[in-house]
Amino acid sequence: MVSSITRNQADIRVVTACEAEKLGKGQQRNEGLNLLSLPKTPLFGTDGIRGKVGELLSAPLALQVGFWAGVVLRTHANRVGPVILGQDSRNSSDMLAMALSAGLTSAGIEVWYLGLCPTPCVAYLTSSSEAIGGVMISASHNPPEDNGIKIFGADGAKLPQALQAEIEAGLRGNTEFIDSVSDCGRHYSRRELIGNYGAALQQPLQASVNLQGMKIVLDLAWGAAVGLAPSVFTQMGAEVICLHNQADGDRINVNCGSTHLETLQAAVQEHNADLGFAFDGDADRVLAVDHTGRSVNGDYILYLWGQHLKQQQQLPDNLIVSTVMANLGFERAWKQQGGKLIRTAVGDQYVQAEMLKTGGALGGEQSGHILCRHYGITGDGLLTALHLASLVKQAGVSLAALVDESFDTYPQLLRNVRVIDRDRRLSWQNCEPIQQAIASAEAAMGDSGRILVRASGTEPVIRVMVEAVNAELATYWTEELVAQVQAHLVS
C-alpha cells in the first residue's frame, strides 16, 4: 500500500469570541465582500461552483471562496492540517488557483499546491493525508471559457451540502462565524505527491494482471490527465497511443474527450487498437470505445464491472447505484440476473451519498462518472479505465464481445436547450406550459417510455431526455418538449 502523507504541525491560532467582541463584530471581515455581485440562486450546483470566467467566476470571488472554505473546513476539522489544491489546464485556472490559495492562507490554512492534475488526484491525496480538505479548479467537461471550484472534505468526498451552505452564507454576509485570524497560512508547491496517486491506481491490479499485449488509445482532451494517464497505462504494460495529449487551455474539451468521441473512434480503428478511452478535462469521468469504434458508456461500464464483482462475490446485495439517466435496458438486464439497481438524482455526489447510505460498492452515471468503493472514494476516470482494460484482459475476449453479451439499450434521446438566464433556468419547474407538455407526453407513452427534464448543474442548459420502446416515439416527444422549453424559457 502507498504510505500516508505526513506534515509538520503548524501553530494556527484563531481569535476567541471574547477577542472578536473587543475588536468589534465583523470588523475583520473582508471589505471586498460587498463588491461581489452574486446571483440570487445558489452558487453551488451538482459539481461545485461553475460558470463563465469573468461573469460568475472571478478572482475576487475565488479569493472569498478560498477564505470562507478555509474558515468552514477549519471549524469542522478535528485536527490542524493543510488544504490540497489542484487545477486543470484552462487559461483561467492559474488565476483562480492563486486567488483561492490567497483566500485559504488568509484564513490561516496551509496550502499544498499540486498544479495540473486530475480531480480524483486531489480527492485521493486529501483522504490519504492529514489534509482537512481539498479544492480543485476545473469545469470538467465544459468548454474552455468556463471554470469551476470543487471542494472536498477531509475524507476526499465532495463537501456535504450543509458545509457548502455555510461557505455560501459567508460569501453572502449571512454568517455568525468569527472570521478574524491571527496568523497567515503558507503556500507550498507539492507536485511530487501526484506520483503517490499514480502508484495507488496501479497497486490493486499489479499482483493479478497486466496490460501487456494490449494496444490502447487515450484521448486526454488537452486536459488534466495529459501527464499522468500515458505513464500509468505504459507502466501497466500497455502499448499506448495518445490523442490531444498536451495541456492546452484554449482547446480543452473542444471537439475531443468524453463529450466528442469521433476522433477516438476513428483512431482506434486506424491503429487496430484493442480499445480506447476518452477522458474529460479533469479526468473524473471516462467513456470507452471498443475495437469496432462503438462507444461504450457508463451504463455498460457499470454492468460489466458489476458482473465481474458479482462473480467474485464482492458486490454487496448485488447492488448498483445509478441515476435517473440510466437506460431501462440496463436496469432490466441487471435485474434479470438477480441484481438490484437504485436510481438517484443526476450528479455523482448523489450517487455517492446513496452508496454510503445503502452500503453499495459500485455506482455511477451514464456519462462516465464511475465510483467503486473497493478502490476509491470518488468518480475517477483513470481508475475506471484501468479496471475496465484489466477486466477485458482477464476475460480473454474483446470489449465488443462483452458488450454484445450484456444488454440492448432502449432508444434514448437527450437534447440540451441553452438558457442563459440563470434564475429562469433554475426555476423552470414553475413554467406551467412546460409542466403541461410533460404531463401530456407521460400520459401518451404510459409504460412504453419515460421523460426527464432538468436544469443542468454544470452548464447553462435545460436537458430534455426522452426514452421509449422505439426511436420514432422518442423523437416525437423530444421535439415537442424542446419546442416548449425554447418557447417559454429562451428569450
Task: Show which residues are catalytic.
Answer: 140
Q: Establish how many alpha carbons lie within 13 A of residue 47's alpha carbon, considering only the half-sphere containing its beta carbon.
A: 26
Let me know: does 167 contact 107? Beta carbons within 8 Å. no
Q: Is the dihedral of CA 245, 248, 254, 255 positive or negative?
A: negative
CA dist 341 and 348 (Å) reads 15
Q: Could you tell me how far CA 250 lies from the centroid of its own chain?
A: 21
CA dist 444 and 177 (Å) reads 53
**Residue 120 cell numbers, joined:** 480524483
CA dist 47 and 128 (Å) reads 22
CB atoms near residue 330 (< 10 Å): 25
Place of cell 504494460: 237
Start-to-end CA distance of the chain, whole Å, equals: 56
Closest by CA position to 282, among listed 372, 352, 381: 381
Annotate 396-421 with DSSP letters as a single string. TS-HHHHHHTT-PPPPEEEEEEE---
CA dist 137 and 93 (Å) reads 6
> What is the DSSP secondary structure assignment for residue 175, as one 8-state letter?
-
**What helix, strand, coil percent values describe the chain, rounded to 5?**
40, 20, 40
Closest by CA position to 136, among listed 284, 344, 311, 291: 284
CA dist 185 and 183 (Å) reads 7
CA dist 143 and 146 (Å) reads 6
Let me know: does 341 contact 322? Beta carbons within 8 Å. yes
Reduced to 3 states (helix: H, G, I; strand: E, B; else coil), residue 30 is: coil
Residues contacting 181, CB < 8 A, separation 6+? 12, 14, 15, 28, 106, 107, 108
Question: Cα–Cα–Cα angle for 147, 148, 154, nearest 5°?
Answer: 150
